[in-house]
Structure 1
Amino acid sequence: MPARVRVEDRECPLSTAMSYVGEWWTVLLLHDCFDGYTRFDQFEANIGLSSSMLTTRLKTLVDNGILTKRVYHERPVRHEYVLTDFGRSLRPVLVAMAAWRNEQLAPSERAMILVDTDTGREVEPVTVDPVTGLSVSDPRFAFRSGPAAGEEMRARYAGERGKPGGS
Structure 2
Amino acid sequence: MKKLSDLPCPIARSLALIGDAWSMLIMRDAHAGLTRFDEFRRSLGIAPTMLTARLAALTGEGILEKRRYSIRPPRDEYVLTEAGRDFLPVLFAIGAWGRKHRGDGKITRFYDAETGTEIDPLTIDRGTGAPIGTRPIRIAEVD
What TM-score comes out, normalization by structure 1 length? 0.76
SS in 2 for 1:123: coil
- Aligned-residue CA RMSD (Å): 2.2
CA contact (8 A) 2:63 2:83 kept: yes
1:102–1:110: 8 Å Cα contact kept in structure 2?
no
Contact 2:8 2:141 in 1 (8 A): no
Distance 2:91 2:40 in 1: 17
Structure-1 residue corresponding to 2:82: 85
Amino acid at match of 1:24: A
| Correspondence 1:118 to 2:114 | yes
Counting matched residue pairs gives: 143
Q: TM-score, normalised by structure 2?
A: 0.88
Mapped to 2, the partners of 1:143 and 1:70 lie a distance apart of: 42
**Structure 1 stretches of at least 4 aligned residues deviating more than 4 Å after TM superposition:** none
Residue 42 of structure 1 corresponds to 39
Structure 2: gaps of 5 or more residues: none
- Listed as ranges, the matches of 1:9-28 within 5 Å are 10-28=7-25
Percent identity for Structure 1 against Structure 2:
36
Return the match for 1:76 from 73, 77, 82.
73
Q: Is 1:5 paired with 2:2? A: yes
- The letter for the 2-side match of 1:143 is R
1:48-79 alpha-carbon deviations (Å, 9 max, x no partner): 11111111111011111101101001111100
Taking the aligned partners of 2:52 and 2:133, their CA distance within structure 1 comes to: 37
The structure having more radius of gyration, on CA atoms, is 1
CA drift of 1:86 comes to 0.7
Match of 1:52?
49
2:81 maps to a residue whose letter is: T
Structure 1 gaps of 5+ residues are 149-167
